[in-house]
């Protein structure tokens, strides 16, 4: 390092020395010895940029833009700064002279008591004038902009700050774009949905208005223009405050939604669909409009109330391209209820996690209360006994959902994470199929296969094991799932990779962890007691009926490799699975 520094200093000296004149050869009689330096770096040093702009912006400086002259009978008591001169001095300057992108012309008899600093110009007439200080001349011009009378160099911290604020678009004043982006995730009923349309945002002080008007084009089947392949998503929001505050907004939509989004992330579902021909969600179409009001009293806490009027309809299974197993059939998208519904939601989000992607401590709580009413025009198929055959088409229900996560660091190397998910029917009529639950699979009970059922009572999908509709729909009206995991940092070095509390080789630059976990959960129907599937509304199933599993894993940060084994069903074989990111 020192050798490199020495080399650079020597190199600079070699460049600089030929340009350094040996001070003024024949100075004015009373001129003191001054240094006269001419520098020609390709870049104007940032400290010089700062020096000249500070001088120009100083309130005590006589400053001018364009040609300026200090006449022979004039005395300037302080500094003089000129931008895009030239500056001609015939009189006296008691301070220093700064010329920016400008020449300085010294007339015979001129006196400058202080320094002369010239950027992007020359000094003429030095020999016939008195110069009390050093003369520094930089050939490189200053690049700048002006805000009013204020000069800002392009290399300044102020300019960096301006650039930064411009990049922080959420806080920017306004924008308008034409968007062409893919949306949500690859799935078997849409393929890859693409969004196209204008996007607009504007800030009025603390108020912020956003509008997006986007068309949805679905690529899952033939490239045709019809109601199956085309949708829309229009959204507007007026918010007050940044981070905390309140907002009111509205949305018009014709989009595809998943029935249970809480199990796996969009990324995982999309990757599994595109690569492995496995879609871990079921879908339905929502067409309608909604309005909402959101209050964010604290950072990390928000409460939202929304009201919507929407029509639900089926989405048939398409055959989008997948990288592997492309010739196989997809799991059919189960039929769901169709009809028109009014949905009222109250939702709370509370998030104090230390990091969204890699939380070490904190809470993440999502709680949702939903009141739905409407008329069902078509009931989706279910296993016999799941629905009351006498149910009419008018529906009123309430439903609750809670996802509570707590992340705890037990030591610098280990952490214990806990999650409780509970949801289900609260009152009123039976839940529509869109609002029902299941457990099992990599997102909930990985020791059990996803949507696979055997004979007998199935407490994961709430079926009796016979007459199961295509696609094995989620049919449970209530569900509880508890998950716990202990994570420990790994201290090891593999394949000569440098372990420094992070892997630093081969692209894996993440802290690795070993994971041991346990899960327990089940679903059930609400009604008079029937076997192990249905319980009265005030009862909880016995813990002995819960499905449980244990597992081990290796989480490299980006990808985690896990194996889980059912405990409650010894005949279930172990399941190997991959998670992209954390389990929860």
Partner 1 sequence: MRTLGTAIVLALGLATDIRAQQSASRDTPGRTEGQPAQSAPGIDVSLPTSSSPNYAGPVVRTANVIADADLRKLLQNGFPAHLSYRADLWSRSGWFDDVESTVEWDVVVRYEPLTKTYRVARYVGDRAENLGRFERYEDAQAAVARPYQPPLPARHTRSRQYYIVVLDVEVISMSDLDELERWLRGELRPAVRGKRNPGTALGRGISTLATRLLGGEKRRYEQRTETFRVGNRE
Instruction: Compare residues 460 and 583 and give the one whose CB is closer to partner 1.
Output: 583
4 burial level (CB within 10 Å; 0-12, 13-18, 19+): exposed
CB of 319 to partner 1, least distance (A): 9
Question: Judged by CB, which is closer to partner 1: 75, or 558?
Answer: 558
Nearer to partner 1 among residue 86 and residue 300 (C-beta): 300
Task: Please say which residue, 390 or 492, places its beta carbon nearer to partner 1.
Answer: 492
User: Of 123 and 247, which has the nearer Cβ to partner 1?
Assistant: 247
Q: Is the dihedral of CA 120, 124, 126, 130 positive or negative?
A: negative
* Residue 157 near residue 49, CB atoms below 8 Å: no
Q: Among residues 176 and 427, whose Cβ is nearest to partner 1?
A: 176
Question: Please, which residue, 107 or 511, has the CB nearer to partner 1?
Answer: 511
Nearer of residues 84 and 172 to partner 1, judged by Cβ: 172
**Residue 294 Cβ vs partner 1, minimum distance, rounded to whole Å:** 6
Query: Residue 146: exposed, middle, or buried by beta-carbon count in 10 A (0-12, 13-18, 19+)?
Result: exposed
Count Cβ neighbours within 10 Å for each residue of 202-219 and write b for 16 or more, e otherwise: ebeeeebebbbebebbbb
Which element (helix H / strand E) includes 93? strand 92-93
Tell me the C-alpha distance between 556 and 548, whole Å.
25
Least distance from C-beta 295 to partner 1, angstroms?
A: 11
Distance of closest approach, residue 543 Cβ to partner 1, in angstroms: 25
Q: Which helix (H) or strand (E) holds 240?
A: strand 230-240
Residues in the chain: 584
What's the rounded Cα separation, in Å, for the pair 200 and 196? 13
Select from 215, 239, 235 the least CA-distant residue to 227. 215
Residue (494 or 504) nearer to partner 1, CB: 504
CA distances to 76, 82, 88, 274 from 70, rounded to whole Å, are 8, 11, 6, 75
CB of 506 to partner 1, least distance (A): 8
Nearest distance from C-beta of residue 303 to partner 1, angstroms: 10
Distance CA 226, CA 115 (A): 76
Nearer residue to partner 1 within complex by CB, 205 or 412: 412
Nearest to 187 by CA among 260, 275, 270, 276: 270
Q: Can you tell me the distance from the alpha carbon of 313 to that of 287, in angstroms, rounded to the nearest whole number?
A: 8
Specify the residue, 350 or 371, whose C-beta has the smaller distance to partner 1. 350
DSSP code at position 267: H
Considering the complex, what minimum distance in angstroms separates the CB of residue 177 from partner 1? 9
Smallest distance, partner 1 to C-beta of residue 262, A: 14
| DSSP 3-state of 66 | coil
Place of tokens 């002279």: 97
Nearer to partner 1, 253 or 448 (CB): 253
Q: How many CB atoms lie within 10 A of CB 390?
A: 5
Residue written as tokens 């201290």? 491
CB of 194 to partner 1, least distance (A): 5
Token pair recorded at residue 294: 């959101």
In whole angstroms, give the CA distance from residue 378 to residue 545. 33
User: What are the b/e assignments for 94-106, b being 16+ CB within 10 Å?
Assistant: ebbbbbbbbbbbb
Long-range residue pairs from 271-276, CB within 8 A, at least 24 positions apart, any chain: 271/186, 271/580, 273/185, 273/186, 273/187, 273/188, 273/320, 273/322, 274/186, 274/322, 274/323, 275/322, 275/323, 275/324, 276/322, 276/324, 276/325
Residues 394, 375 contacting (CB under 8 angstroms): yes
First-last CA distance in the chain:
45
Q: Minimum distance from CB of 170 to partner 1 (Å)?
A: 6
Query: Which CB, 302 or 477, lies closer to partner 1?
Result: 302
Q: Quote the least distance from Cβ 14 to partner 1, whole Å.
A: 17
Closer residue to partner 1 (CB): 217 or 437: 217
Supply the minimum distance, in Å, between the C-beta of residue 350 and partner 1: 11
Provide the minimum distance between the beta carbon of 255 and partner 1 in the complex, in angstroms, as a whole number. 8
State the nearest-atom distance from the C-beta of 269 to partner 1, in Å.
7
């Amino acid at each position: 390092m020192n050798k490199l520094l020495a080399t650079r200093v020597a190199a600079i000296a070699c460049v600089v020395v030929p340009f350094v004149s040996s001070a003024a050869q024949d100075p004015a009689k009373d001129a003191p010895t001054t240094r006269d330096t001419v520098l020609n770096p390709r870049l104007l040093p940032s400290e010089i940029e700062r020096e000249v702009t500070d001088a120009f912006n100083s309130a005590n400086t006589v400053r001018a833009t364009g040609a300026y002259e200090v006449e022979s009978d004039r005395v300037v008591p302080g500094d003089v700064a000129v931008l895009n001169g030239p500056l001609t001095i015939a009189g006296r300057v008691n301070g220093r002279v700064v010329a920016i992108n400008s020449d300085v012309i010294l007339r015979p008899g001129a006196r400058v008591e202080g320094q002369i600093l010239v950027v992007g110009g020359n000094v003429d007439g030095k020999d016939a004038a008195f110069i009390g200080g050093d003369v520094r001349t930089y050939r490189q011009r200053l690049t700048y902009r002006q805000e009013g009378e204020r000069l800002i160099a392009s290399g300044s911290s102020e300019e960096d700050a301006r650039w930064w604020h411009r990049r922080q678009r959420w806080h920017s004043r306004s924008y308008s774009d034409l968007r062409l982006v893919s949306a949500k995730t690859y799935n078997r009923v849409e393929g890859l949905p693409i969004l196209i349309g204008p996007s607009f945002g504007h800030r009025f002080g603390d108020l912020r208005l956003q509008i997006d008007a986007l068309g949805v084009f679905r690529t899952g089947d033939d490239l045709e223009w019809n109601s199956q392949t085309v949708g829309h998503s229009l959204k507007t929001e007026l918010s007050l405050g940044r981070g905390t505050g309140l907002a009111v907004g509205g949305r018009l939509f014709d989009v595809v939604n998943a029935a249970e989004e809480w199990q796996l992330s969009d990324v995982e579902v999309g990757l599994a669909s595109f690569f492995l021909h496995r879609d871990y969600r079921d879908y339905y179409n929502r067409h309608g409009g909604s309005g909402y009001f959101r209050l964010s009293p604290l950072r990390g806490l928000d409460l939202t109330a929304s009201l919507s009027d929407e029509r639900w309809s089926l989405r048939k299974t398409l055959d989008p391209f997948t990288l592997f197993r492309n010739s196989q059939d997809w799991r059919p998208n189960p039929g769901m209820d169709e009809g028109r519904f009014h949905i009222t939601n109250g939702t709370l989000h509370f998030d104090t996690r230390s990091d969204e992607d890699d939380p070490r401590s904190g809470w993440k709580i999502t709680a949702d209360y939903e009141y739905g009413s409407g008329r069902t025009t078509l009931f989706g198929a279910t296993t016999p006994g799941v629905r009351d055959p006498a149910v009419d088409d008018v529906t009123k229900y309430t439903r609750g959902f809670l996802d509570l996560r707590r992340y705890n660091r037990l030591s610098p190397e280990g952490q214990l994470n806990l999650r409780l998910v509970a949801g289900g029917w609260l009152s009123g009529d039976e839940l529509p199929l869109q609002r029902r639950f299941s457990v099992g699979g990599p997102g909930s009970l990985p020791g059990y296969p996803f949507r696979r059922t055997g004979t007998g009572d199935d407490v994961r999908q709430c079926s009796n094991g016979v007459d199961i509709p295509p696609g094995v729909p989620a049919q449970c009206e209530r569900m509880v799932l508890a998950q716990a995991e202990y994570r420990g940092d790994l201290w090891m070095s593999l394949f000569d990779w440098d372990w420094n509390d992070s892997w630093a080789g081969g692209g894996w630059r993440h802290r690795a962890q070993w994971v041991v976990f346990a899960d327990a959960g089940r679903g059930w129907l609400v009604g008079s007691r029937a076997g192990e599937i249905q319980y009265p509304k005030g009862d909880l199933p016995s813990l002995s009926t819960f499905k449980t599993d244990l597992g081990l894993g290796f989480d490299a940060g980006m990808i985690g490799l896990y194996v889980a084994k059912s405990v409650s069903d010894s005949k279930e074989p172990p399941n190997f699975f991959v998670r992209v990111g954390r389990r929860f």
